[in-house]
Amino acid sequence: MRIIDLLHPHLDGVTTVVDATADRGLRLDRYLHLPPDVELSHHEQPVGPGQLVLLSYGPDPRLHGDEAACLTVLERMRPGGRGLILFGHRGSDLPYHRLLDHLVTHRCQVLRASALGYTHLHAGAAIACTKELLPLHDWFGRAVPSDGFATALRMADEYVLADFVSRSLRDRTLDLERTVEETARALDAARDDGTAERLTDLTREKAQLDSALRGARDRVALLEARVAMLEGSTALRVGRALVAAARSPGRGMVRLPGELYGLWSGRGRGHGTTARPVPPARGPDAVVSDGRLYLAHRAVSSTPRDRLVIAGVLSDSTAEDFATEAVVNRLLPHDGRLLLERTDPDALVVQLSACRDAAGPWSLVGTGLVPDLDRCMAELIGRTRASGRKAVLWRDAPVTGAPGLAHLAWDAVVDGDTGVRLSRLDPVADGRARLWEAFQQDSTRVRLARLARLTGAPDPLDGRRVAVLAAPRDETDVARLTGQVLGQLHRPAEVVVPVQGLPALDELTAAGVAVHADEPTAPWVADWTDLSEDRPDTLLLDLMCAQEYSGADAVGHTPADDDYAFVPELRPVLVRRSLFLAGTSADTWSREGYRLFAVTGKENA
């Protein structure tokens, strides 16, 4: 929510907004977008009927002000006056108890409180100074008609129930914090014990010894072949005959001519010991004849990672879906250990339903019926954790099918399905609303983003970032651009303007949207230079949903209103960054091999 969403519903009858935060650098005038008939003032007089005062309170006294500064403004409130308190605290950390007595003392009633979507202002509350209870407001900011007793009764009931719920939440929070502390202590104890480090060292030493042993065997085979070749050579046999004759001159000299003639006559017939061929020296690219042959087809990269890398026990469909958003290597019982060593994945993911597949290579693991598979799985988890990576159990099926898996040393457990790939949905049968819901909550990319947060790997959702190109000329354009950007259900990550430093765009920066005048850095670019065009809040959501469904390089509209179809030409609305920076004409994109996908603009509905 923006400040104007909380402020404007309470401007009825207000002619002056008093900014009591101007001396602290918040500069809220850039966020207000007041109607023409409402004046912005900075006086320090009492606030009465027709006036609304802006005050702030937060953890940074220099920016938000402290409790004393907030109390000073509350003392200026008179019956009929209104106020908007902006908090630098997050909703869960809001110290409202420190202001509650002051509000009551100065006859101020809180009408509405909401979270704000800024980096330095996280919540706000609309208040009014009154002599009697005012009607409360519903979720849409509309007053709920009632008399004073009904209002007081509602507030009393809500106070008791809210306190009950908050106590339950606090108990749950304490339990979670206690669990986190115990887990941290267990991990510290494991690191102090040094078992993981020793296992890693032993594994590395074993690999080195295996390599040295293979090299020694190759050298022995080479020497044996050379000895056999020498033993079968004519020169060696002549030398032996001469030595024998010298040792026994009487008989040896008589037999020597015959032996030499025999060697000469049989030199071409291969008499004597047959020499074995010398094996060629193994070059650096020669294939190693051991278990590493199974890794020839695996995916591995030596460049800095920009995608999540998974080694997993996965079903066929899940592996196919995950591979569209991440680097996926499927583990088999015979090559799992080597695969972990060679690819260094961000996470080992074991899908429970894949372990229950009767036709799969990991069938019956975790049941106790195949102890070798259980030992292999435990070894993979141990090696993963020893290398500093995460072992994750994806519990998408009842654990009763493989109860032994629940007792292994997982770093995390993810409950729920593995998501749906948008291209598997039918936009006609499922409808736009279902596609949007899947895009935001149920897609494979959303599920993998949760895994990335657990492992600290690159976030797949970064591929959905959008840069908006705009050229606001005046304050009216700035207000319109700000409203359109912050109102999008799929909010842009950055706004690119030709001139950096327009004052009112600070609201975008405060809302977490980057504003700059350089080339766009987001993977997708939307051209909003025409700010006179109406853009619904579902525009970018619908366009990004269509892109993820199709895998296209550009999404836009056609004169024929083609919907969810590949076309040779279109008016681009969303373009891949690399294509945008290429600077080529949209008329040539299809001929150059780019994929163009059209939507009808049903996002206006």
pLDDT digits (tens, 9 = 90+) for 445-497: 999 999 999 888 999 999 999 999 999 988 889 999 999 999 999 999 999 99
**What is the pLDDT averaged over residues 91-100?**
84
| Rounded-to-integer distance, Cα 453 and Cα 487, Å | 26
Phi, psi of 496, deg, nearest 5:
-105, 120
Of 600, 557, 552, 559, the C-alpha closest to 576 is: 552
CB-CB neighbours of 267 under 10 Å: 12
**Which residues on adjacent β-strands are paired with residue 394?**
351, 414
**Element of type H or E holding 82:** strand 82-87
Phi, psi of 303, deg, nearest 5:
-85, 165
User: Is 347:391 a contact under the CB 8 Å cutoff?
Assistant: yes
Q: For all residues of the chain together, what is the average pLDDT? A: 84
Answer positive or negative: Cα dihedral of 266, 267, 270, 273. positive
Answer positive or negative: Cα dihedral of 265, 269, 274, 276. positive
**What is the pLDDT averaged over residues 517-522?**
93
**What is the pLDDT averaged over residues 508-535?**
93
**Which residues on adjacent β-strands are paired with residue 108?**
129
pLDDT at 507 over 80: yes
Between residues 503 and 354, which one has the greater pLDDT? 354
**Element of type H or E holding 300:** none
pLDDT score, position 90: 87
Strand residues in 318-378 grouped as ranges (E): 327-330, 347-351
User: Is 497:471 a contact under the CB 8 Å cutoff?
Assistant: yes
pLDDT score, position 276: 47
CA distances from 279 to 59, 289, 359 (A): 76, 15, 43
Alpha carbon of residue 575 to chain centroid: 22
Alpha carbon of residue 379 to chain centroid: 28
Between residues 76 and 256, which one has the greater pLDDT? 76
pLDDT at 301 over 80: no
Alpha carbon of residue 486 to chain centroid: 22
CB-CB neighbours of 430 under 10 Å: 13
pLDDT score, position 304: 65
Highest mean pLDDT among 127-141, 208-222, 520-534: 520-534
pLDDT score, position 287: 45
Answer positive or negative: Cα dihedral of 34, 37, 40, 45. negative
What is the per-residue pLDDT across 391-425, written as a single tens digit (0 to 9) for each?
999 999 988 888 999 889 899 999 999 999 999 99
Contacts of 32 (CB under 8 A, 6+ apart): 3, 4, 7, 17, 40
Say what the pTM is: 0.73
Between residues 428 and 246, which one has the greater pLDDT? 428
